[in-house]
């Protein structure tokens, strides 16, 4: 059973600024509340094929997983995926302009939960949606503060 959660927010900053900050894995701990650490497995800068490992806390568990960038269109779209761990997932960032010079950022997480996560699909989607909303709000607050 696939989990598919899409969340979006408007940020009063230019698209290139939002995408540059949010799309850089090195900044993940600054706006994702559950991500505790990031380690590059390939050399920056970010490009298709780049790999980086996250350590996160989610639903009371510590998770470690490695993302690989599958698509990277600077300032427009980034798709990262992991195929290992308790929750193989694809994460997509889309950035579009809004009237007045701001940015709409869309965050989509889609995957196939395994193990204990498979049995709690509904709760998992709800928790992901809640966490994503908070994370995008943290991102907006950080970027709009300057």
From first to last of the 146 residues of the chain, give the pLDDT tens digit: 689 999 999 999 999 999 999 999 999 999 999 999 999 999 999 999 999 999 998 878 888 999 999 999 999 999 999 977 767 899 999 999 999 999 999 999 999 887 777 777 888 899 999 999 999 999 999 999 97
Q: Could you give the C-alpha distances from 35 to 2, 44, 51, in angstroms and in order?
A: 22, 19, 16
In the sheet with 89-98, reading across from the earlier edge strand, the strands are: 3-11, 102-111, 89-98, 77-82, 61-73, 51-58, 35-40
Q: Indicate the pTM of the whole model.
A: 0.94
CATH entry 3.30.530.20 includes domain 3-145 = yes
Write out pLDDT tens, residues 21-54: 999 999 999 999 999 999 999 999 999 999 999 9
Place of tokens 């928790």: 127
């Amino acid at each position: 059973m696939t989990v598919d959660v899409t969340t979006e927010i408007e940020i009063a900053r230019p698209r290139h600024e939002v995408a540059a900050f949010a799309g850089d894995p090195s900044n993940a701990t600054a706006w994702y509340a559950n991500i505790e650490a990031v380690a590059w497995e390939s050399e920056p800068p970010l490009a298709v094929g780049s790999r980086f490992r996250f350590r996160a806390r989610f639903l009371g568990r510590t998770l470690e997983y490695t993302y690989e960038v599958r698509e990277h269109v600077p300032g427009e779209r980034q798709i990262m995926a992991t195929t290992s761990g308790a929750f193989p997932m694809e994460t997509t960032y889309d950035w579009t302009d809004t009237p007045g010079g701001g940015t709409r950022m869309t965050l989509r997480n889609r995957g196939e939960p395994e193990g204990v996560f498979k049995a709690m699909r509904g709760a998992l989607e709800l928790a992901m949606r809640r966490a994503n909303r908070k994370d995008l709000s943290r991102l907006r607050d950080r970027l709009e503060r300057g």
